[in-house]
Structure 1
């Protein structure tokens, strides 16, 4: 039976709200008690859902930490394919990073979240696998725009550099300026920094 659009919309909103509530409860428990000391059952109880509901929305504990990861590939592809008329790929990716990462970096729990990931081996490993998947996705999207093979080295390198921008910028005081600087390096090539005494002679 075909479901009316309004009912379908309510169902999707309810599903999204449940997923968000589970992820929020999980992050709160992880930050309070440490990732390894929190169980799926404890997360389910905190979110007032069953453990089956948790697994219906998430594949495991790691996925609860990276709850936005599922849609990241879609957003990366859209940044390349749905860019403004006349906008080149690199400028579109610069705008995408500024629009999506800066609000995350400004979140009051960002530092705690980042420490949780870096201090937990299972989460670090998951993040590395996730980063590799996103690199493949973004590289393929870039290659498609230029009619290149998906294993084209230039497209793969650009994808890696772009995904690394937040990592390079996160320790800087001015996140926006750091993102802009790294993208300028990608666009224009690296130049030696000009120190107070100039380059050392060899």
Structure 2
């Protein structure tokens, strides 16, 4: 089936979502997350507060971090689409190494946003919720790919999904984060060597 170009309505919705996200990001970086209201964001994007919540029902946090669906799909694809010689745990480690504060070569704006998330309790909590919200999908894909379907698979998924919150707040970015990520997966490999 050939995918068609989005219609005008879909393009307008996407443009509104982008305008809201950019306005929120810019205001948050300028004044801090807690010092910006949804009304100010809507005004900066030239839209109504009700429109903001229609596009981002998760509120201010979702304006920065989005929703969990894309993250869930990307996480499952990292496991499902890995090369034959790559273990499940290595695929997950490699996936996390490219996300948020783990990104080895972020552009300056992405680094500022990642720092904002780590420094803002509400954003950090929301980010953790987005990761842990992927538990069912990750458990399912690990079970499919490993041929195992028991409590240990769900436990592994939950531990992996806690890593971004635990490791992502290391005080020194860069090599320290990479080392902390490696350490987390070294411990996981001890408990789940078959993965």
TM score, norm. by length of structure 2: 0.71
Query: How has the CA–CA distance of structure 1 residues 108 and 69 changed in structure 2, closer, same or farther, with 3 Å as cutoff?
Result: farther
1:184, distance to aligned residue in structure 2 (A):
5.9
1:57 to 55, 58, 61: 55
User: How many angstroms apart in 1 are the aligned matches of 2:153 and 2:104?
Assistant: 29
The structure with higher relative contact order (CA 8 Å, sep 6+) is 2
**Alpha-carbon contact 2:93-2:185 (below 8 Å) kept:** no
How far does residue 125 in structure 1 lie from its aligned partner after superposition? 3.3
- Structure with larger Rg: 1
How many positions carry a matched residue from both structures?
185
List structure 1 runs of 4+ shifted beyond 6 angstroms. none
Give distance in 2, aligned partners of 1:86 and 1:185.
18
Write the mapping of 1:73-152 to structure 2, written as runs, cut at 5 A.
73-101=72-100, 102-103=102-103, 106-110=106-110, 112-149=112-149, 152=151
**1:193 aligned partner:** none
* Shift, 1:79, TM fit: 1.0
Query: Which consecutive residues of structure 2, in runs of 5 or more, have no partner in the other structure?
Result: none
Q: How many angstroms does 1:24 deviate by?
A: 1.7
1:43 and 2:41 matched: yes
Distance 1:38 1:70, change over 3 A: farther
Q: Would the aligned equivalents of 1:165 and 1:179 in 2 still touch at CA under 8 Å?
A: no
Name structure 1 gaps, 5 residues minimum.
Answer: 191-202
Q: TM-score, normalised by structure 1?
A: 0.69
How far apart, in 2, do the equivalents of 1:19 and 1:105 lie?
A: 26
